[in-house]
Structure 1
Amino acid sequence: MFLVFKEQFVKAYSKKLLIITIKAHTKHIP
């Protein structure tokens, strides 16, 4: 049960991190 939750959390976190990274990159583009 905990392992499944951890896996979902990691997936959600990596997705959030990806969005933040994309936003940061698009900020530099004029």
Structure 2
Amino acid sequence: MEGEFIQHQRWMLLWVIQRDSSQKSRTRLTM
């Protein structure tokens, strides 16, 4: 159960980083 929670946290972190980087590249394109 604890391992599943850690896996979920890692997935969420990766998703947030990916979304943040895509937003940054999008703002760079508009600039």
Give the TM-score category using the shorter length: 0.7 to 0.9
Q: Could you tell me how far apart the structure 2 residues matched to 1:2 and 1:24 are?
A: 33
Give structure 1 stretches of 5+ with no counterpart.
none
Give structure 2 stretches of 5+ with no counterpart.
none
Which TM-score applies when normalising by structure 1? 0.87
Cα RMSD after superposing both structures: 0.6
